[in-house]
Each structure stands twice: as structure tokens, then as C-alpha cells.
Structure 1
């Protein structure tokens, strides 16, 4: 009888589904044989770039609005996404697709102000997309992944999502709102105290917004500690801002000179 009972138990254990093993990666994902691999997730993500009907643009637009209105609510929604989809990173490229037109508009504004030709506009657009948006995001995401001692692709994808979330306010502040003041050329685009104060104030607002959105992104991960250290980087930029205004180093003038090279 005992032998028969043991055989039944062993047979039941063999037929039972595999147990999920928890890990302590940045993504906080529950790993199992049933989970999609990183390559499968990436393939699924990029395969939807041209399938606009499958993208949730309404939800992506809601995210963009809440980056300004209620960023805490935005990252609470990321937590809900993790509880239902078992991943922190976006599985829909709609946000990135909606991000591109803003880069297009901002590049057009600067090209019009600087008097670029069509090819100058095109080169500035390619620079903005490949370097200022994508490459900077790759560097930030890779650096944070290495700093957090995580090498999984899921953590990298979520870090890149945080970068896009934080970069969006910077684009709006620095490349769409700030150029409205360029018509006061004698003030904003001059290396004077007032010009440095106004121009660099836009930079400080954009950078602090980037730091704050990044902080909220990692604070949303319940297994990370000491995320407030991210906010300390804002202090460095505040000190740099004060010093730049004192010495009349206008970041906006420097950026316009660089963009005029295209």
C-alpha cells in the first residue's frame, strides 16, 4: 500500500506544471519555462512597428499627458502592467511611434530659426533621432543596468522606457517651448546675464524633469532600495546652473551654434 501511494505521488509530481522560480533582477520578472525569452519578446515588439492597427495609441497618448499631469499615476500603471503581463517594459511600440512626430516638429522649428536647407534639416533630424534620442537612451539604459548588477534584457528594456518617458518633457521644454523666446534674440540668444538666466533656466527645468521622471521609474520597482540617490544628481545640475549664470555661459547659445553646423 505504501509503495503504491509513493508511486502515485511521484507520478503526480512528474505530471505537475513546473514551478516558477523567482529572481531578483531589475525587471522583477517571475521566471519559468512558460515565460517568453528575451529574443521572442524583442521579435514580437519590433514586428509590431508597422502594424498600426495593433498599437494602442490612445493609451500611449494618455501616458504622454500623464508624464506632465501625474507622473506618479503613470508609473502606478506600469505596476499594473507588470501584474497582468508579467513584465515591466512596454510590449507596444506606440509610445515610440508617437515620440517621433515631436522630434520632427522640434527639429523643424530649430531648422527654420537657424535657416537650414532641406539637407541641413534632414541631417539635424537624423542626429536628433539617432544620437539625442536612441543612442543616449542606449547609454543610459546600459549604464544603469551595469550599475544595478543586472544583465538581463528585460531590465534593459524597462530602463530604456524610463529614458523615453524622461526625455519627452525635455523635448517639449527645450525644443518646442524655449524657441518661442528666440524672437527676443537680444535676450535669450546672447551671452548676457539675463540671456544666460532665461536660457539656462529652461535647461535646468528640462534636466530636473528628466531626473525626477527617472527617479519615479525606478522607485516603482518594489525590490529596489535607495532610489532617492537618483535625486541627488539634480543637485549637481543646480550647482552647474548657478555657476553658468554667474559666468554668463548660455547653454542655448552653445546649442544653437552646434545645430547651425548641420
Structure 2
């Protein structure tokens, strides 16, 4: 007589475990997205620290990613606090611009959606995807023959965009706001101030992007990310002969 049962009245422990595993959220979803609505778990204090140092000492921010890699085994952030905080700042900026231009409630909402979704997320995703492809295709280099091949994570490429975008936000969304009355004038001082803001923000974005990829030890020739600054210098010099960038951008955004 067998001591083992030939049938079971209920599900086996293995079947129950499999069912519980199926009910759990998919682990294929990036951790930062799974935490996107868990505000109590976000470290907004550290995100604010990063924003401050992206202005005064950006290299220090990227110095910390090495320790993040050692502890979390990934280069990209796993905390969406920086992303959420920056999106909130963009919404506040859109509110201020909307009130200044008298856009009304719907106009302000449209400005918020445009600044967050188009300016920040969509354009940022395109830039991150391009940088991610270029670095993985042309700039990766593993010094040890038997070392595990390392690749740039797309999420890290988007982190680099977020970090580089923050100084742009301060210059074009905040500082420019306080120069509205000057930028609306049709004189060379208005042209010079407005174009200089866009030039500085573009150079800062490019330099921040370079720092982000230069911090990865398995990438080579990251100085290639600095070459677009030459194009910015040429365009800036040409624009000073009569093309007011600020007025054209503000007209595109606010119809004025």
C-alpha cells in the first residue's frame, strides 16, 4: 500500500505559488514606474539636493551614480522623485506664464500639458533614445576581455536628459519669465538678452549631457557630445544680426 496520496483535494503548494506569482505585478515593469504614484516612498529631499548641485557642482551628482551602481546594480535612478518634482515645477511655471499672458484656465492647462508632455517627456525621450543608440553602438568599450559587456540603459539616458534639462528649465522657464517686458521690445538689447539665454541654456544642456555619459567608465570618446557647442556658437553669432529667438519662441507658445 502506497504511503503517498494518489490525488489531492486542493491545489498543490506549487500550483498555489504559481497562481500567487501570476497575481503579482509584472517585474518586467521598471521599478521607477512602479513607484511613480507612491509619493510617501519618494525621496524629494535627495532630489532637491541633486537639483541644487546640478547648478553649482554637476560633476558631484554624477559621482554618486557609481555608488548607486554598486548598491542597486543599475546606473539609472529607481526613485521617480526627481521626475515628479521637475514635472511639478514645469506646471507651476506654466501657471505663471499663463497668468502673465492671460491664457485662461484651458489655456493654462494646455500650456502645462505642452511643457510637461512635449517639451520635457517627448523631446527628452527622442534625445535619450538617440544618445542611447549612439553610445551603445559606437562608444562602448570593455577594457577586460573576459568582463561582462556593459551597455547604457535607456532609463539612464533619460536620467541624463532630466539632469541636463533642469538648468534649461531655470533659464528659459524661470529667468526668462522675469524679462518678459524687455524681451517684447524691438531693439538690439532685447535681442541680445533673449538670444543669450537660449545660447547659454543650449550649451548647458550639451555640457550636462557630456558629463552624464563621461561618468560611465565603459564609454570612450564621450567628448563627441561637446561638438554641438560649435554649432550653437555659430548660430548664436548669426542670430545677433537680427533674429530674436526669444520673441519667436514666445509667439509660438503664447501667440504674442
- Unaligned regions of 5+ residues in structure 1, if any? 1-38
Describe the superposition over 1:73-125 as per-residue Cα deviations: whole angstroms up to 9, x where unpaired: 00000111111111000001011111112101211222122221111111111
Q: Which residue of 2 aligns with 1:90?
A: 77
Cα contact 2:98–2:108 (8 A) shared by 1? yes
Residues of 2 paired with 1:41 and 1:94: CA distance?
Answer: 21
Q: Does residue 107 of structure 2 align to residue 120 of structure 1?
A: yes
Q: Which has the higher contact order (CA 8 A, sep 6+)?
A: 1
Cα contact 1:89–1:154 (8 A) shared by 2? no
Closer/same/farther in 2, CA of residues 61 and 47 from structure 1, 3 Å limit: same
Describe the superposition over 1:211-259 as per-residue Cα deviations: whole angstroms up to 9, x where unpaired: 111110000001111111111111111110110111x111110111111
Q: Which residue of 1 aligns with 2:215?
A: 220
Q: Which residue of 1 aligns with 2:39?
A: 52
Cα contact 1:99–1:168 (8 A) shared by 2? yes
Cα contact 1:141–1:156 (8 A) shared by 2? yes
Cα contact 1:56–1:94 (8 A) shared by 2? yes
Cα contact 2:165–2:205 (8 A) shared by 1? yes
Describe the superposition over 1:38-70 as per-residue Cα deviations: whole angstroms up to 9, x where unpaired: x73634321211211211111111111110011
After superposition, the CA RMSD in angstroms is 1.9
Measure how far apart 1:163 and its partner are: 0.2
Q: Which residue of 1 aligns with 2:126?
A: 139
Task: Give the match's secondary structure for 1:252.
Answer: helix
| Matched length | 219
TM-score when normalising by structure 1: 0.79
Residues of 1 paired with 2:186 and 2:227: CA distance?
Answer: 29
Closer/same/farther in 2, CA of residues 153 and 219 from structure 1, 3 Å limit: closer
Cα contact 1:109–1:176 (8 A) shared by 2? no
Task: Give the match's secondary structure for 1:42.
Answer: coil
